């Protein structure tokens, strides 16, 4: 079953989506569906790593300390 999702986007983004869809010879809606699926899948793969996480400031601080 399909569900409708309405998202308001700025005109410049709409133009970018239209051009990307044309380059891939698909409708704008299909291009957006594919992009969303890829993004959701990528986040799911990252989450499955169960990698350690921390506050972004702490992570950046540890990176800087490791470079010294």
What is the tens place of the pLDDT at every residue in 2-21? 999 999 999 999 999 999 99
The three-state secondary structure class of 67 is: helix
- Whole-angstrom distance, CA of residue 28 vs CA of residue 65: 45
Nearest to 28 by CA among 39, 38, 17: 17
| C-alpha distance across the termini of the chain, in Å | 55
Give the per-residue pLDDT at 30. Answer: 97
Mean pLDDT of 50-67: 86
Q: Return the domain boundaries, the chain.
A: 11-67
């Amino acid at each position: 079953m399909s569900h409708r999702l309405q998202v308001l986007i700025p005109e410049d983004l709409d133009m970018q989506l239209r051009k990307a869809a044309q380059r891939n010879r698909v409708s704008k809606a299909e291009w957006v569906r594919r992009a969303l699926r890829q993004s959701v899948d990528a986040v799911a793969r990252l989450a499955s790593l169960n990698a350690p996480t921390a506050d972004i400031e702490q992570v950046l601080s540890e990176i800087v300390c490791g470079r010294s």
